[in-house]
Amino acid sequence: MNVKLVLKQDVEHLGRKGALVEVAPGYARNYLLPRGLAERATTGLVKLMEQRRVKEREAQAKLRQTSLDTARVLEGIPQYVIQKQVGETGQLFGSVTAQDIADAVQNIVGFSIDRRELAMPEEDIRNLGTYIVRLKLFTDIAADLTIEVIST
């Protein structure tokens, strides 16, 4: 007869934190319970874990909707212009970095983005021109930003 437990932490090959699992009594008694990885599933604990799961799903849905709205706003701007100094050959002095793009977006739309979520076309942009940069907003939501690099 298996024992019902609620996992307090992620356990490899068993489940994620908060999951209700059934395991052999020896595995529960000798491994999971002494290490504090799980606790016995009481009706109150199962209800509490279900309430937490519902709240987590609601929070994820709200975050996803916010990401969709943000993507619409960001993609609604035809292009983000970044001015840089250039030499006689058209080569930039320095480069356009993810931070430069994040600053340009903040100046135009009024809210900040995480520069670490930008997928740059190359390591850094080193020439004048138009570039498409992808901004990851959520697990399955991204916004494509058109970046125009011009000389000052």
Residues 26 and 57 in one domain: yes
Residues 24 and 48 in one domain: yes
Phi and psi at 14, nearest 5°, equal -125, -55
CA distances from 14 to 5, 20, 27, 75, 149 (A): 11, 10, 11, 42, 51
User: What are the tens digits of pLDDT across the range 89-100?
Assistant: 778 888 899 999
- Three-state SS string over 10-34 comes to CECCCECCCCEEEECHHHHHHHHCC
Strand partners, 125: 96
Rounded distance between C-alpha atoms, residue 33 and residue 27, angstroms: 9
Residues 100 and 34 in one domain: no
| 116-134 average pLDDT score | 87
- Choice among 14-18, 57-61, 103-107, 123-127 with the minimum mean pLDDT: 123-127
What is the predicted pLDDT for the residue at 21? Answer: 93
Residues 48 and 82 in one domain: no
**Domain of 72?**
68-151
Q: What is the CATH number of the domain that holds 144?
A: 3.10.430.100
User: What are the tens digits of pLDDT across the range 44-82?
Assistant: 988 988 898 899 999 999 999 999 999 999 999 999 999
Single pTM value for the model: 0.72
